[in-house]
Structure 1
């Protein structure tokens, strides 16, 4: 622990080493992730939207669509909550871009660049530190859903696999939010940019309506390739039962593709912006 602290806190005007091992990069990233978590401890109001959002969405969708889609709110709840796991994994990433953009405007990342740490460590730390947001969202969602009557119908290992899959996809999508935070000119515009890509992915999916056959042809075709639909279907199968099919593999493939594309772009924009 002393070595990690020394690596990060030693201010130097020299450029960081030309090559830093992946192990040290991860250690630097974890140290900076703890910095972000510590900030949340001192500003818990930043988690207010994260805490309330799953409750509001669950109540709103359950009692607006429950009777129309499944005939009863209880039946719909068993399909809705797993779908909201996928949706909340997307929405939970939106605050990341705003926080990153604020740090850039405050000059925080300029100070990071003067430290002998891996160039990617600040961005990795930002993403890993935001894990607490995902954990809170999922805990509130499942806890409140259980109060309303939701029950898991599979074994604990399958349930754990469902949330692990959602977490992997969440980490991948975080890099889109990082890229938005680096591209947006100000923190106020980050949310607007984020909604432009989050809304079509979440609402144009099978999150709220598991059966998409009644949709127009173009929209049904979109839902079949939408990664959020694959994640929602995989979580449903792993938590309430049903065939998993290829949904897990499609979700993992999408997650890998997102990281492969957005991580280099984020690093490039970081070099220009920070």
Structure 2
């Protein structure tokens, strides 16, 4: 299914003077760029869509106030990114290729010295794109390992980052049914840390997209799984219980 008509109209308005010149694939490149959490990697992975003439894409976006800075990252304006992601999601092959290339970029980056990638958690960035591809098990496995190795606040931060990944899940399927379909088939005991973290990953990934959980049905699921994790820890339980309370009291602005 394509993007909603209103979204198409909004995207057309935002990009009306970025029409492709002959020989340019600027629009298609920009759609791919929307897959990225940080635009600094986009030129390396996808190119700039310059074409034979004209200004490179980053400059054009900056002139039109369509770029923003967030946590030291260069990002697309959130509304523009959401619109472009709708367009990307309508093309499964392009979606899979874009996120697979970004995941591969960060996987390769893990082999570089840390000083060449300051401030970047390459493993976490890779998992962000693998989750966008629907690969929930390796994402949950990484977070389960970090849960045992790191403090609770670091775990929550890592979980929030990864589960902000975009999805192309069927918006017509109720969120609890989606959660059930994406967490079945594991041999792990249901109340093990690994299983709880996998449910938490999938629930928050669905929840992070307002169109996938408009009624916030997953708030209670996320809170309950944070309670379970807190009960499994011998120390550092306060941030986990606080997070459970936060989701129980969640109010969309």
Which has more helix, going by share of residues? 1
TM-score (norm 1): 0.28
